Amino acid sequence: MDKILFVPNPLLRQKANKIKKVTNNEILIAKKMRDIMNKAPGVGLAANQIGILKEIVTVSFVDQNTKNQIEYSLFNPNIISYSKEKVVMEEGCLSLPNQFAEIERSEKITLEYLDEKNSLVKKQANGIEARILQHEIDHLSGKLFVDYLSSLKRNIIIKKVQKFLKNKK
C-alpha cells in the first residue's frame, strides 16, 4: 500500500468494493493516498492503484479560475449524469508512467459520494476537475484511460510501460 501499481498488475483491472461506512481506517487510507499522489506527483489517485480494492478516490488540482489548490477525498463516488458536451484532452496515469494520449470525456458531470463524515454529497464538476474524477472513478471499475483507445494504440502504450519498468530495475 506504499507505492503505485503499474500496468499490467491485475489489481488495476479489478472492481473496487463499496464501503459500508467511512471509518477511521478509510480516512487513514485516503490520507496515505493523498501523500502518495502528491509525491508522485499526480492530480488523482484511486485506491486500487495502491492495491486496495475499496471505492476511495483522492484528487488534488489547481482551480483554473480561483488558482486555489483543491484537495479532497471521495468514498463510493458515483457519476449520476454526464453532459453531452465532450472535450478532448491529453491524459496520463500514474499507473502508466510517462504515457499520454488524447481522450474524449464529458465536459461536465454530476456525482454523488460520501465524505469523511459519512454525509452524502452531490456535486457538479466541470473542466479539469470533471476529467480527473471521470478518470479516477473509471479506475474503481477496473477501467484505464488507454481503454478508450484502439487496441493497437493501447498495446503500444502498455508495451512502452513494460519496457520503461524493465529499464528502471
CATH number of the domain residue 51 falls in:
3.90.45.10
Q: Residue 57's domain spans which residues?
A: 10-88+106-145
**Residue 157, domain member (yes or no):** no
d(CA 7, CA 162): 8
**Residue 137, domain member (yes or no):** yes
**Residue 155, domain member (yes or no):** no
User: Tens-of-pLDDT digits for all 169 residues of the chain?
Assistant: 679 999 999 999 999 999 999 999 999 999 999 999 999 999 999 999 999 999 999 999 998 888 999 999 999 999 999 999 999 999 999 999 999 999 999 999 999 999 999 999 999 999 999 999 999 999 999 999 999 999 999 999 999 999 988 887 6
Cell of 72: 479532497
**Residue 156, domain member (yes or no):** no
**Which position among 26, 55, 129, 136 bears the catalytic label?**
136
- Cα angle: 118, vertex 31, 139; to 5 degrees: 80
136 is catalytic: yes
**Residue 97, domain member (yes or no):** no
Total domains, the chain: 1
Cell of 40: 508522485
**Residue 72, domain member (yes or no):** yes
